[in-house]
Amino acid sequence: MTAREYPAELTVQPPPLGELRLLAGTQPLSLTEHISRYGPIPRLAGPAQLIAEVERSGLTGRGGAAFPAGRKLRAVAEAARVRARPGRAGWAVVVANGSESEPASRKDAVLLALAPHLVLDGIALCADAVGAGRAYLCAGHSGSTRALAAALAERDRAGLSRIQVQLTDTPDGYLSGQETALISVLNGGAPLPTFVPPRPAEKGANRRPTLVLNVETLAQIGLIARFGAQWFRSVGAPDAPGSALVTVSGSVDRPGVREVPLGTVLGEVLRWSGLSRSAQAVLTGGYFGTWLPLPGASAVPVSEPGLRAAGAALGAGVLAVLPEAACGLAETARITGFLSWQSAGQCGPCRNGMPALAEAMNHIAFGRPGRDVLGWAQQLTGLLPGRGACHLPDGAAGLVASALRVFAADLTEHTRSGPCQGAAGAPVLPVPAAPMPADRSMR
Amino acid sequence: MSGTGPATAIVVTSSTPLWYATRATGLVALVLLTASMALGLLSSVRFERPDWPRFVTLGLHRNLSLLALAFTVVHVLTTVLDSFVSIPLQDAFIPFISSYRPLWVGLGAIAFDLMVALIVTSLLRTRMGLRSWRLVHWTAYLCWPVAVLHGLGTGTDTPTTWVLVLTASCVLVIAVLTLWRLARAWPARPLPSTVAVVLIVVTLIAGGAWLHAGPLAPHWSTRAGTRTAHAAGVSKAEHGISR
Amino acid sequence: MSQSQEAASRRGAQRQSVPRQPALRRPQLRVNPIACEAHGVCIELLPELITSDQWGYPVLRTGAVPLHLEDLARRAVADCPTLALRLVLPE
């Protein structure tokens, strides 16, 4: 399937200069504006061309796992080729994941609002590349379904709809956007993770090879297909090419979503958002992420390899800054309580270990912890990782371990004289309220 | 069979070693099946002691099931080979087609088929998927009582005291363990558990009543469908005894 | 391994005179945490490789299953009441 030719008066624009790529402005782009800014969706020689270009670009997934996008494309294309029934095209499925269940992240919502057509281009291109006959665009409360439906209708009228894209509302819940949980929802099941194997690339939605990509990744693919891998790599770092969207929040003057070249140091990224001098730490990745001290970690590059070297990760691109006056242990305790509430409850270690971890953190943050509580918390952080069907327990364990490390001074004060002043203050990081105990039984 | 004098003599001289073998292997198979079922129930309630780990229960359960099948196979073979009553091999697999006590032998065929299914699926357990294996394994709850009924209905030894005591002990063991199993399941699923308990109690009472009015009452062999010449031979002995 | 099994593996090795893979891939234990219901049979059978956490759930030792424990590992996989334990070849 190929793109239709556009009217001659619309010329193809040169690639966007400078470092703003995905987010070209502050207003949503209509289809005509989108085409006038980026050019029409390119006509490629064949599916292999896109896959090769994405592989050359070094694009990694922007949903949190940072898996090489080219490799995922190739895996799904191969699985679809092997399992497709002869004469039946369109065996695979593309899922655009804009669920954004991470409370501290807003980048997917902003991208879907401002540049929905980039995402839809990415979907169409990937569908061609893997041989998919249908696609799902999953947005939670993060994307307006009506605006997306309007964008799809626009493309329909312009004759650009090469594939049926079904809009789906991701249900509430921290795990709903997780890859296998989302596929479970699409298959009519509960929003709970499933055991892997089989991977979605082998057997996902409707038991077909399914390509699940974050909406930002798909938008990047929409650009790579137009301007090439070289162009993509012209910005960013050699080990982390391209740009990425980050959500900066907390004690900064200009919180919000920014597009940054990967590899820019943390201090600079935060300065762009108006970093207040009194920041003590930053939570990177998401609520399942890691604390880094400020200004100590200012020179850490904002990229997957850069953050990993510092014991953190880019994750969902969350950078939540903690002011000096707040208590990192209290924030962590609240987040851990939230994560524990959000557990699917399917795996013993998580079902048992997460409430224990939340309780221990509560004691550490709001009580006067003795050495046994601290020892127990440390033991739990070693006991949880790698023992669940998803990475929720890993994330919580990593969060708590980093908090105990980064806020060691607060920890000493708490053990000596109970909770500090900051612990009694208002929460900095927004944590949805947990239901009353009775509600829990409804899960 | 109780009785003295000439009637007993008729019974003794008309039986063959094969008939003894059939009855013996049948009873032993029932005991082994009961033991296997008991261990299966113990496993389902996660029974464990410091000197009796879970894998002992599971290992014994597997071995006793295989033994039970072996004895049942011998039981079937001796029955088929015994020329006194004509029971061809297919009667052991296809229920209710036998000319001798069709219902009761048929129950034996059902129990035998289920045993084979249970064991074959358990040997292929890791290749089957848990749900299908579990579905087949639930038929154990059908297999065992059917085997007991088959024994009571077909068995010529049923009226003897020690056989009754043996069968009653087997029933008691399984009833108690099943109630234990249901008690474990009750918190999560009160309704099905209660229904199951009621069913068990009703079955026990009905079973007892049937036993009293059936195999333990006179002329059972005729009522059970022992045909013509065989009936003459066996009921003659019974008449002799009841007099 | 029984004598017959040893003989069989010797014959197998002789048949494979040209190895297809540079190194033998040894199987590893993996547990499906959703299916696992903490029956603990695997922990009893393979204490060298599987220990219990305070809630009865298995903690697997990382790495390949040693040759002398492979039979026991296969038995543990077959005996798991919920078929949660598996032996997999690493990718």
Tokens of A369: 């912890």
Least confidently predicted of A214-228, A236-250, B211-225, B229-243? B229-243
Whether A21 is covered by a domain: the verdict is no
Percent of chain B with pLDDT strictly greater than 90? 52
DSSP string, A138-176: EE-TTS-HHHHHHHHHHHHHTT---SEEEEEEPPSSTTT
A23 vs B29, residue with greater confidence: B29
Residue B84's pLDDT band, with cuts at 50, 70 and 90, is confident
For residue A280, the surrounding DSSP H or E stretch is strand A279-285
List the single range of A209-218, A252-261, A327-336 with lowest mean pLDDT.
A252-261
What's the rounded mean pLDDT across residues A390-407? 96
Mutate to test the interface with B, among C42, C79, C85, C88 (most CBs of B within 10 A): C79
Residue with the larger pLDDT of the pair A9 and B114: B114
Q: Which DSSP category does A21 fall into? A: -
Predicted confidence band of residue A20 (pLDDT cuts 50, 70, 90): low
What pLDDT band is residue B25 in, cutting at 50, 70 and 90? very high
Mean local confidence (pLDDT), A338-359: 96
**pTM of the full predicted structure?**
0.85
Q: What is the pLDDT of residue A135?
A: 96
Check contact A-B (3+ Cβ pairs < 8 Å).
Answer: no
pLDDT tens digits, C35-68:
999 999 999 999 999 999 999 999 999 889 999 9
pLDDT of residue B42 exceeding 80: yes
Which residue in B39, B45, B46 has the most chain C C-beta atoms within 10 A of its own C-beta, making it the best mutation to test that interface?
A: B46
Q: Which of B240, B235, B236 is nearest to B224 (CA)?
A: B235
Q: Tell me if residue B153 falls in helix, strand or coil.
A: helix
Say yes or no for a CB contact (<8 Å) between C34 and A194: yes
List pLDDT tens digits, range A253-277. Answer: 888 888 899 999 999 999 988 887 7
Tokens encoding B202: 């009703």
Helices (H) and strands (E) in chain B, counts: 10, 0
- Supply the pLDDT for residue B217: 80
The mean of the pLDDT values for chain B is: 85
CATH number of the domain that residue A409 is part of: 1.20.1440.230
Residues 6+ apart with CB under 8 A from A104: A247, A249, A283, A286, A287, A318, A320, A429, A430
Tell whether B230 is within 8 A of chain C (Cβ).
no
Contact A177, A192 (CB under 8 A): no
Interface contact C33-A194, CB threshold 8 A: no
pLDDT at C14: 55
Residues A240 and A222 in one domain: no
pLDDT more than 70, % of chain B? 86
Regarding whether A240 and A225 lie in a shared domain, the answer is no
**Residues A271 and A286 occupy one common structural domain:** yes
Q: How many domains does chain A have?
A: 3
Residue A305, pLDDT > 60, answer: yes
Return the CA Rg of chain B.
19
Domain co-membership, A195 together with A69: yes
Same domain, A309 and A178: no
Residue of B nearest to C45 (CA): B55
Contacts of B57 in chain C (CB under 8 A): none
3-state helix, strand, coil in chain A (%, to 5): 45, 15, 40
C78 touches chain B (CB under 8 A): yes
Pairing relation of β-strands C58-60 and A243-250? unpaired
Residues A263 and A156 in one domain: no
**Structural domain range at position A128:** 31-233
A134 and A220 belong to one structural domain: yes
Q: 3-class secondary structure for chain C?
A: CCHHHHHHHHHHHHHCCCCCCCCCCCCEEEECCCCCCCCCHHHHHCCCCEEECCCCCEEECCCECCHHHHHHHHHHHHHCCCCCEEEECCC
My answer on whether A229 and A247 are in the same domain is: no
CA distance C85 to C58: 10
Touching partners of B (3+ C-beta pairs < 8 Å): C
Q: Measured on CA atoms in the order C38, C39, C43, C46, is the torsion positive or negative? A: negative
Per-residue burial over B60-82, b if 16 or more Cβ lie within 10 Å, else e, is: bbbebbebbbebbbbbbbbbbeb
Structure tokens at A245: 């969207």
Give the Cα separation of A425 and A90 in Å (integer): 55
State the CATH class of domain C21-88.
alpha beta
A348 touches chain C (CB under 8 A): yes
Task: Please tell me whether residues A246 and A267 are part of one structural domain.
Answer: yes
- Given pLDDT bands bounded at 50, 70 and 90, which one contains residue C13? low
Under the banding of pLDDT at 50, 70 and 90, the label for residue A91 is confident
Report chain B residues whose CB lies below 8 A from the CB of C58: none
Range with the lowest mean pLDDT among A314-323, A420-429, B120-129, C36-45?
A420-429
Single out the residue in A323, A350, A367 at which a domain terminates: A323
Q: β-pairing, A132-139 with A92-98? A: parallel
Please give the pLDDT value at position B59: 94
Region A287-291 average pLDDT? 96
pLDDT bin (cut points 50, 70, 90) of residue A21 is confident
Asked whether residue A18 is domain-assigned, the answer is no
Q: What is the pLDDT of residue B213?
A: 85
Query: Of C44, C78, C82, which is closest to B54 when you measure between CB atoms?
Result: C44
CA dist A67 and A196 (Å) reads 16
At B86 the pLDDT is 79
How many angstroms separate the CA of residue C69 from the nearest CA in chain B?
A: 16
Among A180, A166, A80, A85, which Cα is nearest to A129's? Answer: A80
At A15, the amino acid letter reads P
* Residue predicted with more confidence, B94 or B240: B94
**What per-residue confidence (pLDDT) applies to B239?**
45
Residue numbers in C near A383 (CB within 8 A): 53, 59
- Same structural domain, A195 and A248: no
Please check whether residue A334 lies inside any domain of the structure.
yes
pLDDT tens sequence across B124-174? 999 988 999 999 999 999 999 999 999 998 878 888 889 999 999 999 999
| Same domain as A174, residue A35 | yes
Reduced to 3 states (helix: H, G, I; strand: E, B; else coil), residue B2 is coil
Q: Does C44 touch chain B (CB under 8 A)?
A: yes
Nearest to A117 by CA among A243, A16, A225, A222: A222
Question: What does the pLDDT look like over A168-185, one tens digit per residue?
Answer: 999 989 999 999 999 999
What is the CB-side half-sphere exposure of residue A40 using CA atoms within 13 A? 17
Distances in whole angstroms, Cα of residue C29 to Cα of each of C50, C61, C64, C90 = 9, 8, 7, 10
Tens of pLDDT, residue by residue over A113-168, are 889 999 999 999 999 999 998 999 999 764 578 889 999 999 999 988 888 999 99
ipTM reported for the complex surpasses 0.90? no
Whether residue A200 is contained in a domain is answered as: yes
Assess whether A304 and A389 both reside in one domain: no
> Is chain B in touch with chain C: ≥3 Cβ pairs within 8 A?
yes
CA distance C2 to chain B (A): 19
Predicted local distance difference test score (pLDDT) of residue A272: 87
Residues of C in contact with A387 (CB under 8 A): 33, 57, 59
Cis bond upstream, residue A295 (ω within 30): yes
Are C57 and A348 inside 8 Å of each other by CB? yes
Q: Does A352 touch chain C (CB under 8 A)?
A: yes
**Taking 60 as the threshold, does the pLDDT of residue B46 lie above it?**
yes
Question: Which stretch, A407-421, B77-91, C11-25, has highest mean pLDDT?
Answer: A407-421
